[in-house]
Amino acid sequence: MPLFNTSKITLQNPTTTVCNTTFISVGTTSVNVVPNEPNRKSLTLENRSQNSIYIGFSTSPSATSFAIELPPGAYYELPSPIYTAPINAIASTGTTNVLVVNSFS
């Protein structure tokens, strides 16, 4: 079951060889926030803005058609087995900063 919480997170995974932390700017047009990564071990998306964001798995989300909604300050950790295909996002309004923590071997 995926985790969903509005608190800040710290990722610790001693078996991972590479961990990338990136901020992605998401607007009102769907953008790719995470590319296809067959060696992905974990992924966390955190909404660092005052707007909601909508997540789509391998599809372009919209405010009415999405897989996950992340309200301001919330984060989402992918459950196991880890989804390795591309992930897209769109903001409800304005520009939204999304923290992406992607680890892989």
What are the tens digits of pLDDT across the range 10-63? 656 555 578 889 999 999 999 999 999 999 999 999 999 999 999 999 899 999
Residue 57 — φ and ψ, nearest 5°? -95, 110
CB-CB contact of 24 with 53 (8 Å): no
User: What is the model's pLDDT at position 20?
Assistant: 87
Give CA angle at 47 (58, 51), nearest 5°: 100
pTM higher than the cut 0.85: no
Q: How buried is residue 94: exposed, middle or buried, by Cβ count under 10 Å (0-12/13-18/19+)? A: exposed
Residue 3: pLDDT over 70: no
Question: Are 29 and 60 within 8 A, CB to CB?
Answer: no
CB 29 within 8 A of CB 92: no
Q: Taking 80 as the threshold, does the pLDDT of residue 7 lie above it?
A: no
> Which residues, in sequence order, are CB contacts of 29 under 8 Å at separation 6+?
90
Measured distance CA(82)–CA(73) in Å, rounded: 23
HSE at residue 50, side-chain half, CA atoms within 13 A, is 1
